[in-house]
Amino acid sequence: MATTTQPRRKIRERRDDVRRRVLRTAAEMMADGTPYTELPVQRIAERAQVARSTLYLHFPDKSRLLLALADEAVDALFGEAVIWWRADHSDGVDGVARAMRQMIAAYREHRRVLHALAEVAGYDPEVAEFWRERIRRFAAVVQNRLERERRAGTVDPEMDVRPTAQVLIWTVERTISAHCHHDEGAGDEGIARTLARTIWLTVYGTTPAPPHGDRRPANR
């Protein structure tokens, strides 16, 4: 049994190694400034030191390669926001701002892959469905939280939670995308806090409390 398992393990390890090398190479080539749509498969294979036929065994086409790269990028983009939507929100707008900072940082780190994802989704049905499915997953998290808040009486009882979730998600994603495209980082804090305030007011309809450490005594 051991003699049969060991060769299989080695084969799996070799396959995993090839996959990692191809993904790392594609990411490095994009980091050098080459748009994803202009990356030739042959060049990726050569730099990853794998045969082109071997690359195609793992990624039948460039769309599949992009989806593999996008998996990590999208998880990083939405990860902190999902944590906030599932938290107790006791830290008010500060907690939202923290999530927005993480989203902005994740977008900057993966901006080339996320830009390629948005571009290719415009004409590739498989990539477009991947992006829609990831948005649907995130929307379900937001919608479920809004429904719980509505049942608990902590938000407007007339809130239509499904379109509210959609508006919040697309407002955040599009704002961060446009901001990172035109700003090198100086305006990140302002965008994070503005998005945080927008989300908080949309959900709870109350003026956010001042940031921790910035509480001033009331005038007497």
Two tokens, residue 178: 């446009």
- DSSP state, 184? S
pLDDT of residue 4: 55
Model confidence over 70-80: pLDDT tens digits?
999 999 999 99
Model confidence over 127-171: pLDDT tens digits?
999 999 999 999 999 999 999 999 999 999 999 999 999 999 999
- Report how far residue 143's alpha carbon sits from residue 137's, in angstroms, rounded to the nearest whole number: 10
- Report how far residue 121's alpha carbon sits from residue 130's, in angstroms, rounded to the nearest whole number: 8
Amino acid present at 179: H
pLDDT of residue 213: 44
pTM: 0.84
Percent of the chain with pLDDT over 70: 88
Burial class (CB in 10 A: 0-12, 13-18, 19+), 140: exposed
Q: What confidence tier does 110 reach under pLDDT thresholds 50, 70, 90?
A: very high
- DSSP state, 211? P
Amino acid present at 94: D
pLDDT at 85 over 80: yes
pLDDT of residue 217: 38
pLDDT at 6 over 90: no
Domains of the chain by start residue, with CATH: 1-60 (1.10.10), 62-211 (1.10.357.10)
